[in-house]
Amino acid sequence: MQLGIIGAGNIGGTLGKRWAQQGHQIVFGVRDPNSEKAQKALAAAGAQARLGTVAEAVAAGEVILLAVPWYAVREAVQAGGDWSGKVVIDAVNHVGSTIEQSPSVAETLWAMMPSAQVVKGFNMLGWNIIEQPDFGGIAADCFICGDHAGAKQTVAALVRETGLEVVDCGSLQNAVILEALARLWIKLSLGEMGREIAFKLLGR
Ligand SMILES: NC(=O)c1ccc[n+]([C@@H]2O[C@H](COP(=O)([O-])OP(=O)(O)OC[C@H]3O[C@@H](n4cnc5c(N)ncnc54)[C@H](OP(=O)(O)O)[C@@H]3O)[C@@H](O)[C@H]2O)c1
C-alpha cells in the first residue's frame, strides 16, 4: 500500500520504519528534506521510503498518517492540498489541554477536511511502545475510533501489522476520550513508571 506520513519525528519515523518492513511504500511529507529527523526517518525506513513535500505525500498516499505537533496541524493540512477521499490517521495530541478539551483534535481536523475519512489512532501510547509492543507475550492495545467502517478496517490492519492489538472505540465523537487517555499515559510515563507502559483492555 502507498502510505503518506506527515511528520517524520518519533511517531512518524517509528511507524514509517515498521510499515516499510511490512512492504508498504512510504512517502514522508516534510518541510525540510535535510533536517535531522527527516534523514533519520528515511534511513530507518530504507529503500521502501522516500522524502517529498507534504502535498506529495498526501497525493501519493492511500492512507495518510498525521503525526505533527498540535500547533502545526493547520499549516500541515493547508500544505497537504487535496485530502478528499483519503483515509487519515490522526495521531496528534493537544498536549497541555484540559480533560474537557472539546471539540477533540480529531474532530477539529475533520472539520478542516470534511471529505477525508479521519480515524483517531496511535495517540494513546508512546512511540517506544509502537517500536516494541510486546509485554511478555501480551500485545499492547491501540485504541482507534472513526465514523467510516471501511477506513477503520484499513487502519486496523495497519495497526496489527505493527504487532499492536486493535480496540475499536466507536465513532469519532469518542476521540475526546482517546485524547484524554493519552494525557493519562503521558502523566504516568513522566512519573515513576516511566515510558514502558501501555493500556490493555480485558474482556470475557
Ligand atoms: N512522542 C510520542 O510518544 C507520541 C505518542 C503519541 C502521539 N504523539 C503525538 O504525535 C505527534 C508527533 O509527535 P512526535 O513525538 O513524533 O513529534 P516530533 O518527534 O517532534 O516530530 C514532529 C514532526 O513534525 C514535523 N512538523 C512540524 N511542523 C510541521 C509542519 N507544519 N508541516 C510538516 N511537518 C511538520 C517535524 O518536522 P521538522 O523536523 O521540520 O520540525 C517533525 O518531523 C504529536 O501531536 C504528539 O502529541 C506523540
**Tens place of pLDDT per residue across the chain (204 aa):** 999 999 999 999 999 999 999 999 999 999 999 999 999 999 999 999 999 999 999 999 999 999 999 999 999 999 999 999 999 999 999 986 665 667 899 999 999 999 999 999 999 999 999 999 999 999 999 999 999 999 999 999 999 999 999 999 999 999 999 999 999 999 999 999 999 999 999 999
- A 10 A CB-CB count for 13 gives 24
Ligand 1 contact via 199 beta carbon (within 6 Å): no
**Predicted pLDDT at 2:** 98
**Predicted pLDDT at 103:** 87
| Number of residues in the chain | 204
Testing ligand 1's pocket by substitution, the residue of 5, 27, 68 carrying the most ligand atoms inside 8 A of its CB is 68
Q: What's the rounded Cα separation, in Å, for the pair 124 and 177?
A: 10
Q: What's the rounded Cα separation, in Å, for the pair 34 and 142?
A: 32
Q: What's the rounded Cα separation, in Å, for the pair 57 and 176?
A: 27
Could you tell me if residue 199 is inside a domain? no
- Ligand 1 atom closest to the Cα of residue 92 is 45
Nearest CA to ligand 1 atom 37: 7
Could you tell me if residue 201 is inside a domain? no
CA 81 to chain centre: 19
| Distance from residue 137's CA to the centre of ligand 1 (Å) | 30
| Distance from residue 11's CA to the centre of ligand 1 (Å) | 7
**Predicted pLDDT at 97:** 63
Q: What are phi and psi of 89, to 5 degrees?
A: -90, 120
Instruction: Give exposure, 85-107, as e/b (b: 16+ Cβ within 10 Å).
Output: ebbbbbbbbbeeeeeebeebbbb
Q: What's the rounded Cα separation, in Å, for the pair 2 and 136?
A: 32
List the domain range (segments joined by +) for residue 34: 2-189
Could you tell me if residue 150 is inside a domain? yes
| Distance from residue 7's CA to the centre of ligand 1 (Å) | 5
Could you tell me if residue 139 is inside a domain? yes
Q: What are phi and psi of 52, to 5 degrees?
A: -150, -175
Could you tell me if residue 196 is inside a domain? no
Could you tell me if residue 198 is inside a domain? no
**Predicted pLDDT at 100:** 62
Are the C-beta atoms of 110 and 135 separated by less than 8 Å?
no
Could you tell me if residue 195 is inside a domain? no
HSE-CB of 120 using CA atoms within 13 angstroms: 34
**Predicted pLDDT at 99:** 57
Q: Residue 52 is part of a domain; what is its CATH number?
A: 3.40.50.720
Taking the model in full, what pTM does it have? 0.97
Q: What's the rounded Cα separation, in Å, for the pair 124 and 185?
A: 7
**Predicted pLDDT at 164:** 98
**Predicted pLDDT at 59:** 98
| Distance from residue 14's CA to the centre of ligand 1 (Å) | 11
Could you tell me if residue 197 is inside a domain? no
Q: What's the rounded Cα separation, in Å, for the pair 151 and 148?
A: 5
Domain count, the chain: 1
- Ligand 1 atom closest to the Cα of residue 73 is 31
CA 16 to chain centre: 10
